[in-house]
Amino acid sequence: MLIDTHTHVNFNGFKEDGPDVIDRALRAGVWLINVSSQITTSKRAVNIAVDYKEGVYAAVGLHPIHLHEVSVDESEIAFQSRREEFNLPEYRELGLNPKTVAIGETGLDYFHIPKDDDFDLVKKRQEAVFKQQIALAVELKKPLTIHSRGTEADPMGVYQDIMAILKQFPDAKGVIHCYSGDLKTAQQFIEMGFLISFTGIVTFKNAKEIQKVAKELPLDKILLETDAPYLAPEPYRGKRNEPAYVKYIAIKIAELKGISFEEVAKVTTENARKLFKI
């Protein structure tokens, strides 16, 4: 058994075949958490989760790129973000659902701040909404799923900003999703009680730095995720990702650590069950 702790079958990328994708995952022994980016996908994630007795769960939250309007166009993603205000009562109601196991994804994203916008103003807005969602997670006693993406010039600065904010909330716990930082920073997050999650990037041939981090971190501090439909692992790189492909991430982690696939599956599943209470 494996748990894909961060996927997006609640996104439009799976509009036509979402149930089939989930069924493929469950038949392959993969449970999943559909993570949200705004109120529409949060509601959808909860609605999907309640349709399944077990194996499918939700995380609800407002992604930092949806705090302003921006066109996102990269190799694995293209869309126009819609600005949304954080509606605390709505997100609290969704967060109270028994199938909601986390708040997120929330966090900071400096990479997609529009060039014409006031960087510092947008940054302050992101920080304020991030803090609201951290407070909600603490109130509901649920973990956070944290997004972090810095600028090209300073990719590590965002991690330091997130760390500084989290230190204001000592009761907050959760996971740093799609980790792409260095080993020292990962260890600092772990010391604060957070887990580190790896995506299909760890399978890429040129991802030597993140492979080093995955190799060195204790297995009991690691989670696995696909971030589907994005970041498909080898051998599906460049194609639409899906939760069933999380096994390729587990295979790579096992290879890097020189241990069995079964051990990676067992320990990372235990990690996810403990953090998300599933």
Query: Per the annotation, where are the binding residues for a divalent metal cation?
Result: 6, 8, 105, 147, 177, 227
The contacts found for 188-193 with CB under 8 angstroms, 24 or more apart, are 188/163, 189/159, 189/163, 190/217, 190/218, 190/221, 192/163, 192/166, 192/167
Nearest 5°: CA angle at 104, between 187 and 34? 105
Count Cβ atoms below 10 Å from residue 6 Cβ, excluding itself: 28
Task: Specify whether the CB–CB gap between 176 and 139 falls below 8 A.
Answer: no
Tell me the one-letter amino acid at 80: Q
Task: For residue 30, list its beta bridge partners.
Answer: 2
Scanning the structure block, which residue is given the tokens 């803090």?
A: 131
For the annotated binding site, the residues are 6, 8, 105, 147, 177, 227
How many other CB atoms are found less than 10 A from the CB of residue 210? Answer: 22
Q: Is 174:144 a contact under the CB 8 Å cutoff?
A: yes
- Bridge partners of 174, per DSSP, are 144, 194
